[in-house]
């Protein structure tokens, strides 16, 4: 079987996320065990720079499908273009990083090619020409292995599950142009509402998260013009989250939250970590005032090191934590911010 590996470079307006380079690295490992080649695939409006970057991260060659109308990601023409190139390439594996764009994109390409898709892969083994992909199911309570015998196997790799490859500045390879398949335009991107501009949760090396506990500071008195009890609670929580944000800022970390904090209206859903939010695996996860419900643990238990700060010594979060502080987060978190500042020289 031809052991060609195609890797799709996901990007936002010409900027690739780190998970795209992790995917190139994983594709490289697969190709190496088969003695095959890695071809990076970039769809966009002027993607040559990304093609060069992909080769520097370990691809042997790149295919670029550019068109002015592809500047903004739209599922339909991107899927048609990727499917067309994959068909022509005779690849045996097509690898994507897992992002909000690529899950639907990879699924649609799978339909076009009548083949199988394994999303959110955390481990890969190269068999004889086929891949055995491992992914979590039941919100990370179990793992399943999947193969796709005799057909092109489409994979999306979970961010931070595969190592970031080294960059080789002088590495070059052929960059080939391919014609996109634009089809009929059905959707139009009207614009973007920026998120709060913080570090992206799924790419973050460090995450500081707050839970329900951040609203429990009795020493804080809401301003007199807030009379509604619920609004008072939200005001208190926002002061608590300010402490979480300060610690995150010192560490260059993303800010996360438990479902309880999101459902209570303290922070937007985009910050939610857990079964019904984002699944993350940073090097360091600091949980502040989070008890550790099973649904939250599902979203962060693969973090390399977990630190828990909680008043309740019996909280389940301590069962997955490497380090714990039993204490009041309103005292401990500012002290941590100060200590990190001093030790990291900021």
Partner 1 sequence: MNIVVCVKQTPDTAATVTVQDGKVSWGDAPLVLNPWDEFAVEQALRTKEAHGGKVTALSLGPEGAKEALKQALAMGCDEAILISDPGFAAADSLVVSAALAAGVRKLGEIDIAFFGRQAVDSDTGVVGAQVARRLGWPSLSLVAAVRAIDPAARSIEVERLLEEGRQEVRSTLPATVSVTKELNEPRYPSFMGIRKASKAEIQVWSASDLGMAAIPAAALTWPEVMSLPKVETQCEIIQGDSPDQIAEKLVGRLLEEKVL
Taking Cα atoms as reference points, which of 2, 295, 9 lies closest to residue 157? Answer: 9
Token pair, residue 203, equals 């790419």
Residue where the block lists tokens 């995150």: 248
CB 210 to partner 1: min, Å? 17
Residue 60 CB, nearest distance to partner 1 (Å)?
Answer: 27
- Measured from the CB atom, the residue of 169 and 194 that comes closer to partner 1 is 194
- Identity of the residue, 172 or 305, whose beta carbon is nearer to partner 1 in the bound complex: 305
CB nearer to partner 1: pick between 116 and 129: 116
Residue 193 CB: number of other CB atoms within 10 A? Answer: 4
Query: Closest separation between CB of residue 192 and partner 1, Å?
Result: 5
Q: Which residues contact 254 (CB under 8 A, 6 or more apart)?
A: 198, 199, 200, 201, 203, 204, 206, 207, 208, 248, 282
Closest distance between partner 1 and the C-beta of residue 175, in Å? 26
Nearer to partner 1, 226 or 249 (CB): 249
Residue labelled with tokens 């695996």: 281
Distance CA 208, CA 213 (A): 14
* C-beta of 219 vs 343, nearer to partner 1: 343
Nearest approach, Cβ of residue 178 and partner 1 (Å): 21
In whole angstroms, give the CA distance from residue 177 to residue 63.
Answer: 6
Name every residue whose Cβ is closer than 8 Å to that of residue 223 and which is 6 or more positions away in sequence.
235
How far apart, in whole angstroms, are the C-alpha atoms of residue 305 and residue 138?
23
Q: How far is the CB of 159 from partner 1 (least distance, A)?
A: 9
Q: Which residues pair with 41 in a beta bridge?
A: 8, 63
- In the bound state with partner 1, the residue whose beta carbon lies nearer, of 171 and 346, is 346
Closest CA to 59 of 17, 131, 16, 7: 7
- Least Å distance, CB 67 to partner 1, is 18
Give Cβ neighbours of residue 156 (< 8 Å, ≥ 6 apart).
95, 96, 97, 98, 102, 103, 106, 117, 118, 119, 120, 121
Min CB(232)–partner 1 separation in Å: 22
Dihedral sign of CA atoms 65, 111, 11, 147 in order: negative
Sign of CA dihedral 244, 249, 252, 256: positive
> Counting Cβ atoms within 10 Å, is residue 326 exposed (0-12), middle (13-18) or buried (19+)?
middle
| Phi/psi-derived region of residue 326, left when phi > 0, alpha when psi is between -120 and 50, beta in every other case | beta
Q: Between 25 and 299, whose beta carbon lies closer to partner 1?
A: 299
CB closer to partner 1 out of 58 and 136: 136
CB closer to partner 1, 244 vs 321 = 321
CB of 105 to partner 1, least distance (A): 8
């Amino acid at each position: 079987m031809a052991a060609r590996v195609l890797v799709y470079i996901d990007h936002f307006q010409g900027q690739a996320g780190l998970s795209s380079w992790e995917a190139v690295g994983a594709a490289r490992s697969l190709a190496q065990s088969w003695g095959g080649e890695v071809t990076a695939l970039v769809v966009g409006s002027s993607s040559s720079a990304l093609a060069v970057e992909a080769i520097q991260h370990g691809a042997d060659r790149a295919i670029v499908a550019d068109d002015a109308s592809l500047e903004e990601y739209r599922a339909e023409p991107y899927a048609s273009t990727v499917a067309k190139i994959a068909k022509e390439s005779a690849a045996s594996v097509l690898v994507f990083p897992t992002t909000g764009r690529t899950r639907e994109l990879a699924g649609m390409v799978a339909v076009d090619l009548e083949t199988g898709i394994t999303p959110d892969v955390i481990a890969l083994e190269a068999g004889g020409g086929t891949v055995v992909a491992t992914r979590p199911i039941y919100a990370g309570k179990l793992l399943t292995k999947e193969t796709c015998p005799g057909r092109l196997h489409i994979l999306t790799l979970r961010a931070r599950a595969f190592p970031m490859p080294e960059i080789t500045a002088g590495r070059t390879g052929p960059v080939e142009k391919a014609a996109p398949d634009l089809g009929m335009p059905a959707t139009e991107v009207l614009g973007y509402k920026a998120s709060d501009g913080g570090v992206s949760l799924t790419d973050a090396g460090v995450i500081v998260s707050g839970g329900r506990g951040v609203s429990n500071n009795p020493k804080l008195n809401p301003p007199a013009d807030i009379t509604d009890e619920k609004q008072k609670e939200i005001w208190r929580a926002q002061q608590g989250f300010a402490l979480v944000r300060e610690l995150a800022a010192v560490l260059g970390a993303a800010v996360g939250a438990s479902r309880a904090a999101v459902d209570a209206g303290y922070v937007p859903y985009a910050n939610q970590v857990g079964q019904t939010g984002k699944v993350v695996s940073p090097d360091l996860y600091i949980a502040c005032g989070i008890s550790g419900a099973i649904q939250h643990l599902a979203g962060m238990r693969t973090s390399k090191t977990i630190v828990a700060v909680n008043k309740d010594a019996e909280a389940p979060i301590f069962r997955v934590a490497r380090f714990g502080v039993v204490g009041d987060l309103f005292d401990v978190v500012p002290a941590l911010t100060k200590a990190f500042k001093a030790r990291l020289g900021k």
